Structure 1
Amino acid sequence: MAKLYLVRHGQASLGADDYDQLSAKGDQQCRWLGEHFARNGLQFDCVFSGTLRRHAQSLDAIRRALPGVPLAHEVHPGLDEYDFHALFRALGDERRDLAETSKSSPREFFKALRQVLLLWVEGALDARVPETWTAFQRRVADVRETIQRSGVKHVLAVTSGGVIGALTQQALHAPAAMAIDLNLQIRNSSVTDCFFNRETFQLSSFNSISHLDDPLRHAFQTYG
């Protein structure tokens, strides 16, 4: 069986004009992850990432601490996050209070995001969103199948929380709403690993942040 290491990008810039940018804390999280991989002797035959800037920056930080990561990698849009800005815009006037509440604090944002994501899963936003939940699930499944057909043994994929939540939900054959619950607990720079071959895809561990377990690093355990 081959093994896939799914890494969520480091902390991005939630609340800033441009979210798709690693913070200094996010860069450090990923450098520590690279060091953790190096200490454990991990080597990767193949690397995938999404198309987003925060994916590329996270991969670069890992590479600085783990020089053996292949420089060539496959950029796959299936690993891109859903557009949460578009989901909030799709709420319309009848749910404007939910969109406004999300702006009051990070805590309220994540509470509102969960409600919006559940509406998305239920199809309640389909007429107004650029990507339906069904389409998102399909592209996540497509990238999983691409990895399963890759023929390599050790794969690193840098992606986002929504994709990891959906891949985990699919691996567990769980209800769609489970992807949302999983998504919202995935921490920055965490590792979720899976065993796979061409026929099967199985979860091994979820949302690990062993590289941030040191008490001096607890302030680097983030979600945004």
Structure 2
Amino acid sequence: MADGINVELVVVRHGITAWNVERRYQGQRDIPLLFPEAEEGLLALRAGLADEQFDAIYSSDLHRCQQTLEWVQAAKPGVPLSLEPRLRELHFGEYEGKVYDELKDLPHYRAWIDSVGELQIPGGESAAQLRERLDLWLADVAADALANGYRKVLAVTHGGVIRELRRRFETIDFWEGTVLQAQGRRWELTYQPDVNGQGEWLCKCSSVVPVPVSEVL
């Protein structure tokens, strides 16, 4: 059996968009960041990650995540960067572009809410389908880390993705997994491959990104 590896995984959500402000479901619509509203959060995230040295970076290929990565300035020369469709937000299908008041009386929407995302959205995904593609991505992160010796990895993604990763690594309730724009989580992980070339990620600890000013002072 191959030796395991310790990886520090930092995962952050993109900055604010117009649809965030309007409380619209964005899903996989390619909505850009909203300026100047996004700037404060992005600058705080940049400052919080300024001293970090990442071995590899993965980003959702949607424009708002690529813009966030540019603002954070974490992508240094020589650091591998992968644009990753599997890090896209949950596909909200028929709900994309709509707000709660437009959906609240629809039976399938009420059923989806009551299922805490487990039902498949009409024309979109279920939470299980999101978890499936994240599992595939995490398997590739493990393979990349084992092959290249990565110890610290950054991922720029979406709120729903981070919610599911928090449920996986922190074993928290669905409703507790929310993170704000330009914020995220840091996980200290161990990956141990098994005899079949598969493996399991285990979380040793987690923390907020960026660290709140009150904890820095």
**TM-score, structure 1 normalization:** 0.68
1:128-186 superposed Cα distances (whole Å, 9 cap, x missing partner)? 33323321110111112222222111111000110011011112456xxx3x3134x31
Distance 1:30 1:101, change over 3 A: same
Identity of aligned residues (%): 20
The one-letter amino acid paired with 1:37 is: L
Residue in 1 that maps onto 2:11:
6
The one-letter amino acid paired with 1:145 is: A
Give 1 or 2: higher strand fraction. Answer: 2
2:136 matched to 1:134?
no
**TM-score, structure 2 normalization:** 0.70
Question: C-alpha separation between the residues in 2 aligned to 1:80 and 1:208?
Answer: 20
Contact 2:112–2:118 (CA<8 Å) still a contact in 1?
no
Give 1 or 2: higher helix fraction. Answer: 1
Question: C-alpha separation between the residues in 1 aligned to 2:80 and 2:134?
Answer: 22
Question: C-alpha separation between the residues in 2 aligned to 1:173 and 1:67?
Answer: 30
Gaps of 5+ in 2: 1-5, 193-200
Residue in 2 that maps onto 1:121:
117
RMSD: 3.3
Contact 1:194–1:201 (CA<8 Å) still a contact in 2?
no
Question: C-alpha separation between the residues in 1 aligned to 2:188 and 2:57?
Answer: 16
Distance 1:69 1:35, change over 3 A: farther
1:35-80 superposed Cα distances (whole Å, 9 cap, x missing partner)? 2222xx21111000011111000000001xx574756410111211
The alignment partner of 1:210 has SS state of coil
Contact 1:149–1:198 (CA<8 Å) still a contact in 2?
no
The one-letter amino acid paired with 1:121 is: G
The one-letter amino acid paired with 2:139 is: E
Residue in 2 that maps onto 1:165:
163
Contact 1:47–1:70 (CA<8 Å) still a contact in 2?
no
Contact 1:8–1:191 (CA<8 Å) still a contact in 2?
yes
Contact 2:118–2:128 (CA<8 Å) still a contact in 1?
no
2:66 matched to 1:59?
no
